[in-house]
């Protein structure tokens, strides 16, 4: 709830100043997809490439934020919504710092992804859909979570007993089934170059 005694303060050093210092345009790359699609893997590989290019970044990973920032949340729809809200606000602060922020979250609901998009000015949010069919994700099952979900040991698991709403018009769609990781990275780097986020 808004408090009339809490007032936003403008500062002399702003987002544009910080971005210019870094020779880049700040934005959020929001990686979404089913568990096992490879969101963290692709996002991590993109961040490594950007680091090699001298780009200033930060990667927010779904599992990692649940060790601290969102450690008090479960996996109900309400908790998932709050998880994404918190991450969106952190990502917004990091964009204000002039960074290119990569986030790897299942973020199963379109409304929550749209909510984060709405936190940022036009052109500072790019949805990256890591598109892998459920059967391939389930075959991969790197954490054994699908097996547990099928056995009823985990409830509210996306793709099994909880819905995943795929993006309808993502800025970037990465098909990460049999495709080499390097091709996915190249696709995303090319997008960032073509839209003026990074310069080489």
Catalytic-labelled residue, pool 19, 35, 40, 107: 107
Q: Known catalytic residue: 107?
A: yes
Q: Interior CA angle at 78 toward 106 and 111, to 5°?
A: 55
The residues that are catalytic are 107
């Amino acid at each position: 709830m808004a408090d009339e005694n809490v007032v936003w303060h403008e500062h002399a050093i702003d987002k544009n100043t910080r971005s210019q210092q870094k020779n880049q345009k700040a934005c959020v790359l929001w990686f979404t997809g089913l568990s096992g699609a490879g969101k963290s893997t692709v996002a991590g590989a993109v961040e490594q490439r950007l680091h090699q290019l001298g780009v200033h970044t930060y990667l927010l990973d779904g599992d990692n934020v649940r060790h601290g920032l969102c450690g008090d949340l479960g996996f109900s729809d309400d908790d998932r919504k709050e998880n994404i809200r918190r991450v969106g606000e952190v990502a917004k602060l990091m964009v204000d710092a002039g960074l290119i922020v990569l986030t790897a979250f299942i973020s199963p609901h379109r409304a929550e992804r749209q909510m984060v998009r709405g936190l940022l000015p036009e052109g500072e949010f790019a949805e990256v859909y890591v598109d892998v069919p459920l059967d391939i994700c389930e075959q991969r099952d790197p954490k054994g979570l699908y097996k547990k979900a099928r056995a009823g040991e985990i409830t509210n698991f996306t793709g099994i007993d909880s819905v995943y709403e795929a993006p309808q018009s993502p800025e970037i769609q990465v098909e990460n089934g049999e495709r080499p990781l390097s091709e996915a990275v190249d696709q995303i780097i090319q997008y960032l170059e073509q839209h003026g986020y990074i310069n080489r």
